[in-house]
């Protein structure tokens, strides 16, 4: 698995080609977006920021797999959390289905004091 830079033009192409569901891609800064390549094929997009919840933290702002239901998302999350070597990973799930996916990937509810559920992964 490799993370590759994504341009605004590439984001637009992937949004149209795969009918991406997250409306927040339009607010994303291109320098924060990565294309995820597995076996020579771009299979997903991810946007994340570092340090938002402390020194050793990462927040996933957007994550979308193009062809869902094939285990690709779980594989990506497993590799990402392993590569982050003990960093806490935070995210706000955007739907009940998304919430179930992240909890299956060992993310747990975290109270950040805002009253909005946030999920956290910590080894």
- 38-61 confidence digits (pLDDT tens): 999 999 999 988 877 778 899 999
Predicted structure pTM score: 0.88
Long-range contacts of 8-14 (CB under 8 A, 24+ apart): 10/35, 11/45, 14/42, 14/45, 14/66
Three-class SS of residue 30?
Answer: helix
Under DSSP, the state recorded for 40 is: T
Per-domain boundaries in the chain: 2-121
- 65-83 confidence digits (pLDDT tens): 999 889 999 999 999 988 8
Classify domain 2-121 at the CATH topology level: Aminopeptidase (3.40.630)
């Amino acid at each position: 698995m490799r993370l590759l830079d994504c341009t605004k033009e590439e984001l637009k192409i992937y949004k149209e080609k795969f009918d991406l569901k997250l409306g927040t891609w339009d607010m994303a800064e291109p320098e924060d977006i990565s294309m995820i390549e597995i076996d020579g094929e771009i299979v997903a997009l991810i946007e994340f920021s570092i340090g938002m919840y402390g020194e050793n933290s990462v927040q996933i702002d957007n994550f979308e797999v193009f062809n869902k239901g094939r285990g690709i998302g779980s594989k990506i999350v497993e590799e990402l959390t392993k590569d982050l070597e003990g960093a806490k990973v935070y995210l706000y799930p955007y739907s009940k289905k998304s919430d179930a996916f992240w909890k299956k990937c060992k993310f747990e509810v975290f109270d950040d004091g805002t009253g909005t559920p946030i999920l956290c992964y910590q080894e």
